[in-house]
Amino acid sequence: MKIVELASLGRTVTGKTPSSANPEDFGDQYSFVTPTDSIEFKFVDRTERSLSEPGVKRLKDKLLPSKSVLVSCIGSAMGKVVMNSRPCVTNQQFNSLVVDQTQNSPDYVYYALKNNYKLLRNAATGSTALPLLNKTDFDRLKLRIHSSKAEQLQIAGVLSALDSKIELNNRINAELEGMAKLLYDYWFVQFDFPMTAAQAAALGNPKLEGKAYRTSGGKMIYNETLKREIPEGWKSRNILAVSDIGGGATPSKKAPEFWGGDVPFFTPTDAKSEPFCIDTEDHLSHFGLKNKATRLYPKGTLFITARGSVGKAMIISREMAMNQSCYALCPHEGVGSAFLYFHALSLMNHLRAKSSGSVFDSIVTNDLNFTPAVVPDRAQLEAFNKIAEPMFKTILNHQQQNQELTKLRDWLFPMLMNGQVTVN
């Protein structure tokens, strides 16, 4: 192995944000990566904003070829490392390394930097709250790497195989969730669910069975509470029509015997973008669970964050407790977790829109109790469950696979990078 400066591995590019005076610089041709994008996985594929061809040309030499190594060098995301699968541009909060591929493997350099998170953090200047690693200091960072590119490729190959499977599962999950969400919107927002035989008969045309309800002339009734038309027989009810609401509490941190057990304890910091929560950062002991006014919620319960990361929803994959900054929605019999998940997110969107002009920083019980929503009849709910529940079961299986793959990768990672383990 050898010690090298980052500058010797390729060309460093510090990103830049287009001027607001040129709105035409934003378009849909090149991803524009910022720390607010999802940079938790190896490749950053989805970004909030994109740039146009003219915008990229105006930034001159800031366009990064695919398989560049992007390193966040300021703020709370300091030291996070990702790669790009296609050409992109970053903002000024990234220093990116365009690796000289004649000498080194970009994938290996990515893993080498991931394995040296503390090196990046320690090299930063500025305050603890706002660390900064400028281009000059970034280039001077010394990294211990394998000398042989062949060895680099072998090591990167093992780790990339694990990451590729994890990312494939994530892409499949995103597609499945998107399909289920689209179905929910068609059926319960646009009211174009498949018409039942009884509904078609009521219209005097049996051939309409299976056709889109509203588009095919299904009977709509004006609802005074919702101030809009909804399908005949449907109701406007609050969330209690499909679930029971529960709360949580936090046992004293001063009592170590309450903590460190095997009972997952959910807080807003555990809220991620995935539908299911498989595990949590904190765990209670069974003694701690019994000695505080919190409770164990069953698998399939939906947790909603009421403070902190407000309005995020996750379905718990096993029994869990939660703190007082969340609400638990326990689905009624016949109400699937998938339906409740989208129903709750729709409710959160309504509350956000309602708070327009003010800060949406908390949810109280009255927000849930006094916000009406459309509740479908049992036939449409059962039909939705038959399609959506298997999708969500697959999503959960993939998340559980990823948890095991991540454990294996994280166990191998430092040993491969430090030369403790070799690849034959």
CA distances from 318 to 254, 272, 299, 372 (A): 27, 16, 4, 29
Domain count for the chain, please give it: 3
More confident residue, 98 or 307: 98
> In terms of domains, do 342 and 415 share one?
no
Residue 389 placed within a domain: yes
Pair 149, 105: CB distance under 8 Å: yes
Q: Rounded to whole angstroms, how far apart are CA atoms 140 and 87?
A: 26
Residue 223 placed within a domain: no
pTM: 0.83
Residue 303's closest CA among 279, 320, 286, 290?
A: 320
- Model confidence over 140-192: pLDDT tens digits? 999 999 999 999 999 999 999 999 999 899 999 999 999 999 999 999 999 99
More confident residue, 396 or 85: 396
> In terms of domains, do 359 and 270 share one?
yes
> In terms of domains, do 276 and 308 share one?
yes
Domain that holds residue 420: 149-179+377-424
Which residue is it, tokens 């990116």?
96
Residue 225 placed within a domain: no
- Model confidence over 276-322: pLDDT tens digits? 999 999 999 989 888 776 889 999 999 999 987 888 999 999 999 99
- Tokens representing 390 are 């298997």
- Tokens representing 3 are 């010690």
CATH number at residue 55: 3.90.220.20
Cβ count within 10 A of residue 256: 10
Pair 293, 239: CB distance under 8 Å: no
Q: What is the mean pLDDT of residues 35-55?
A: 84
Which residue is it, tokens 């390193």?
71
- Model confidence over 189-229: pLDDT tens digits? 999 999 999 999 999 999 999 999 999 999 999 999 999 99
Which residue is it, tokens 């680099």?
152
Phi and psi at 326, nearest 5°, equal -135, 160
> In terms of domains, do 72 and 123 share one?
yes
> In terms of domains, do 404 and 307 share one?
no
Beta strands at 321-322 and 259-266: parallel, antiparallel or unpaired: parallel
Residue 234 placed within a domain: no
Residue 187 placed within a domain: no
> In terms of domains, do 249 and 140 share one?
no
Q: What is the mean pLDDT of residues 30-56?
A: 86
Q: Rounded to whole angstroms, how far apart are CA atoms 101 and 69?
A: 12
**DSSP alpha helix (H) spans, 189-303:** 197-202, 286-290
pLDDT the model gives residue 203: 93
Pair 62, 25: CB distance under 8 Å: no
Residues 6 or more apart in contact with residue 240 via CB below 8 angstroms: 368, 369
CATH number at residue 175: 1.10.287
> In terms of domains, do 140 and 164 share one?
no
Residue 227 placed within a domain: no
Contacts 24+ apart (CB under 8 A), 152-156: 152/104, 152/105, 152/108, 153/105, 153/107, 153/108, 154/423, 155/108, 155/111, 155/416, 155/417, 155/423, 156/105, 156/107, 156/108, 156/110, 156/111
Residue 129 placed within a domain: yes
Pair 115, 414: CB distance under 8 Å: yes
Residue 280 placed within a domain: yes
Burial (CB count within 10 angstroms: exposed 0-12, middle 13-18, buried 19+), residue 369: exposed
> In terms of domains, do 349 and 412 share one?
no
- Tokens representing 180 are 């289920």
